[in-house]
Amino acid sequence: MQRNLFLAQVAPLSRQEAVPLVLIHDGGGTTFSYHCLGSLKRIVYTIHNPRFYSGQSWAGGVTTIGGVYADLIRTVITAGKMLLGGSSYLSLSTSRSYYGSHSRKVGRLEVFSLLRSRAFSAIQRMLPSLVWS
């Protein structure tokens, strides 16, 4: 399962203390659009649907997936703060599972847009200026 968590961006040396961002896949199960982002000046992980190719369903649905993804995140972010987001309801479910037992919540980033390139451009402009450390 850990192969689902992909290191998409590393933080520049000047921003090593920036809060890491984890982006959950879109409704289609892929994270390709996140890899098209310019530098967000922080560590960025992406999680794609591990059952994308098999099409196998999840017993328990979104709640189960959120719990699995929360456990996956805990394998790489073991301490400190984290931003969690994405462009599907799964990021909300994962947030509930993850933060339900941890007090490290910094924020969530939801991306819902038909014009994704514009939404991501806005995120790129906004993230570096926000203070999340």
Model confidence pLDDT, tens digit, residues 33-59: 888 888 888 999 999 988 888 888 889
The model's pLDDT over 54-95, given as tens digits with 9 standing for 90+, comes to 888 889 888 888 888 888 988 888 877 888 888 667 777 787
Q: Domain limits of the chain?
A: 2-129
pTM of the predicted structure, to 2 decimals: 0.75
Q: Which pLDDT score, from 0 to 100, does residue 91 have?
A: 77
For domain 2-129, give the fold: Rossmann fold (3.40.50)
pLDDT for 108 beyond 70: no
DSSP states of 16-81: TTSPPEEEE--TTS--GGGGGS---SS-EEEE--TTTTT----TTHHHHHHHHHHHHHHTT--SS-
